[in-house]
């Protein structure tokens, strides 16, 4: 029997509705500031979507744009101004930055209490130590989708995360660990990788290799939460055309898995929804507001 498709677009819409409902009960409007450097077309689309969805949820959206030839100092001084602005609750630096700029150094300038992407060293430390803080959006979205498939209580599930990046792999492992899962972090050097994956109740490919995970890597009935997003040639669509695929080979995995996220339309839409959720959580923590039920 084919796997049940986990509709990330629908789940993300539910999360955004919960955020909008929460915002309507707050004594003020949370504010998200987005910083875009340069003119990367994909980044411009992402930023437009973030601004639109932030406003649709009833929050204030501030959009700062710097030219592609902006210096490291100009980027960091803008971040420091936003840190000091009491009306700004969340700061998002849109990546990638133009060549020649140090994204890691710029991210470290973000006040951890406004770090709605959860990427600063302090945010990573809080996650690692199990202390309150803002968590990276894509891994949070992955956990939400797993719960949508398998139920709220993931205790005892064996999770295999393929990938050890600081953006997804490591934080996803820690977030599933916090849900009382047993977690294995696998990667390109893992011996018998396919065999390791076959032990997973929840398999999270996050390695950036198109369609690497095949159906015979998947335990029958497992949930596959595919974080990969890869653009590959699609000659069937016409010369020079491309398509998006995940790190899992959808057709073969769907024949074995119990649940699977598609690409696109799976984990991707969750990232912006969780960003909005983080902005509300940041506002509540900074301003001393009670966190509304449902978040």
Residues serving a catalytic function are 50, 94, 117
Residue 165 labeled ligand binder: yes
Q: Is 148 annotated as a binding residue?
A: no
CA distances 128 to 112, 122, 142, Å, are 14, 10, 18
Are the CB atoms for 234 and 243 separated by under 8 Å?
yes
Cα(84)–Cα(166) distance, integer angstroms = 27
What's the token pair of residue 241? 């055309």
Contact 211, 246 (CB under 8 A): yes
> Would you say 91 is a known binding-site residue?
no
DSSP 3-state of 23: helix
CA distances to 3, 23, 30, 55, 286 from 278, in Å: 31, 12, 10, 15, 12
Whether 209 has a binding-site annotation, put simply, is no
| Contact assessment for residue 249 and residue 205, using Cβ atoms and an 8 Å cutoff | no
CB 221 within 8 A of CB 239: no
Q: Which residues are annotated as a binding site for NADP(+)?
A: 163-165, 229
Q: Which residues are annotated as a binding site?
A: 163-165, 229
């Amino acid at each position: 029997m084919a796997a049940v498709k986990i509709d990330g677009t629908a789940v993300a819409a539910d999360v955004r509705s919960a955020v909008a409902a929460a915002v309507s009960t707050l004594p003020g409007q949370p504010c998200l500031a987005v910083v875009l450097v340069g003119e990367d077309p994909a980044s411009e689309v992402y930023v437009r979507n973030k601004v639109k969805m932030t406003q649709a949820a009833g929050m204030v959206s501030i959009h700062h744009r710097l030219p592609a030839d902006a210096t490291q100092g100009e980027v960091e001084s803008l971040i420091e101004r936003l840190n000091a602005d009491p009306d700004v609750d969340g700061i998002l630096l849109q990546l990638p930055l133009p060549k020649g700029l140090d994204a890691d150094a710029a991210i470290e300038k973000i006040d951890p209490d406004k770090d709605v992407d959860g990427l600063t060293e302090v945010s990573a430390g809080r996650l690692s130590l199990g202390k309150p803080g803002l968590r990276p959006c894509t891994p949070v979205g992955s956990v939400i989708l797993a719960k949508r498939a398998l139920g709220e209580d993931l205790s005892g599930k064996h999770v295999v995360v393929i990938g050890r990046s600081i953006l997804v792999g490591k934080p996803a492992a820690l977030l599933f660990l916090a849900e009382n899962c047993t977690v294995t972090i696998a990667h390109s050097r893992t011996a018998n990788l396919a065999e390791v994956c076959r032990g997973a109740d929840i398999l999270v490919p996050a390695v950036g290799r198109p369609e690497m995970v095949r159906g015979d890597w998947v335990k029958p009935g497992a949930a596959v939460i595919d974080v990969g997003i890869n653009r590959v040639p699609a000659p069937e669509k016409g010369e020079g055309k491309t398509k998006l695929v995940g790190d899992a080979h959808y057709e073969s995995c769907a024949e074995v898995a119990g649940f699977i996220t598609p690409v696109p339309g799976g984990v991707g839409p969750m990232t912006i929804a969780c960003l909005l959720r983080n902005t509300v959580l940041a506002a509540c923590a900074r301003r001393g507001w009670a966190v509304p039920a449902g978040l």
